[in-house]
Homo-oligomer: A and B are copies of this chain.
Amino acid sequence: MKWLDEFIERKARAVAQQTSRRSALLRIGRVLVGTAFVLPVLPFDRSPRAQHGAVDDGKHDPLDPQRCEYWRYCALDGHLCTCCGGTITSCPPGTEPSSVTWIGTCHNPEDGKDYLVSYNDCCGSASCGRCFCNENEGERPGYRMGVHNDINWCMGNESSVYHCTVSVILGQSGSAGG
């Protein structure tokens, strides 16, 4: 995927140009103009840095639950509750777990087994906005609602305002249901 490389390089060059640009210096008499290396938050940017979270230092540890690459998040589309005051399986204080949910199946690299994971949303506060991830293994359109993630699973709660998403293991995949 050369396009990604090129994109990165282009941005790096753009920043470098900005650094050396004489006009940047001219603006120093005013406030903070030169700091605007702001790229928009991308709908598909899986990096925790995208919306403030763990620093994206280039590692992608499948055992670090504050990163999109964490193995349980293989079909998680939303903000990681681990970056929002919750844990892998608990909602942040001040929020409510969703009453309905959908299911993914993820491979645990530690024991080599596949697990069924419930992607509950946490609801009712303002959106957390941190550590956005967009993983879609086994995800299907809305006519397969039980495995669909482009919808707000807070929909059944008293307040359906989305905050973040947890990943709760329901059991091993091979041994049931599948």
Contact = CB atoms under 8 A, between A and B. Distances in A.
Nearest to A67: B33
A32 B36 CA distance: 21
Contact of A33 (B37, B41, B45): B45
A107 interface: no
Interface stretch (A51-59, A83-91, A109-117): A51-59
A163 interface: no
A31 interface: yes
B45 A36 contact: yes
Given A8-B24, A27-B60, A69-B30, A16 B16 contact: yes
Measured as residues with beta carbon below 8 angstroms from the partner, the interface class of chain A is 35 or more
User: How many chain copies?
Assistant: 2
A36 B50 contact: yes
A34 B60 contact: no
Given A8-B19, A8-B24, A58-B21, A35 B30 contact: no
B12 A19 contact: yes
A8 B35 contact: yes
A32 B46 contact: yes
Interface of A: 1, 4-5, 7-9, 11-12, 15-16, 18-19, 21, 23-42, 44-47, 49-52, 56, 58-60, 68-69, 134
25 contacts: A1-B29, A4-B35, A7-B35, A8-B18, A11-B15, A11-B35, A12-B12, A12-B15, A12-B16, A12-B18, A12-B19, A23-B59, A24-B58, A26-B60, A30-B60, A30-B68, A32-B44, A32-B46, A33-B46, A36-B39, A36-B50, A38-B39, A38-B41, A38-B47, A38-B50
